Amino acid sequence: MTAAKVTLQQQAPSEKIINKQPANLAHEVIDDDGIVYKLRVPDPCDEFDLTAALGKDAGMNAALQARAMPLIWIESINGEPFTRPGSYNEIRAGLKRLGNNGMRAIMAAMQRYYDSINLGTEENVEQLKK
């Protein structure tokens, strides 16, 4: 009887981090009010359009951009397509529609997504030191 040959491939800690598949975005999140948001990762054009919609002065304000950013991650709300805002007033209306609970749910999903693709996290730095 011939023994099976098993080969284990060892990866350096840096290779493990580089080859790590990022966690997918939670495609649906439900806020505390039971509202279901279907999400997608925005592309650079979405971010560009958001900045333009904020307007000349507000578009240069990082805090306002950060508050409006969840709006470009939304694909639908409770199954109804969500139209990305094209003006400052539409951004305000979208934020009002989300409310605090919607903002928290979407921002938590965004944070989990960004954490999953961030190679500079403390955990990954510690792995590199090993």
Distances (CA, A) of 58 to 32, 63, 108: 30, 9, 24
Q: How far apart are CA 53 and CA 111, in angstroms?
A: 23
Per-residue buried b or exposed e for 61-89, using 16+ beta carbons within 10 Å of the residue's own CB: eeebeeebbbbbbbeebeeeebebbeebe
Digit-coded pLDDT (tens) for 58-117: 767 788 888 999 999 999 999 999 999 999 999 999 999 999 999 999 999 999 888 887
Token pair in block for residue 108: 């938590």
Residue closest to 99 by CA, chosen among 127, 75, 77: 77
Chain centroid to CA 110: how far?
3
Q: If we measure between CA atoms, which residue out of 73, 67, 71, 72 comes closest to residue 94?
A: 71
Burial class (CB in 10 A: 0-12, 13-18, 19+), 107: middle
Q: What is the pLDDT of residue 119?
A: 55
Global pTM value: 0.70
* Residue 59 DSSP label: G
What average pLDDT does the segment 47-65 reach? 84
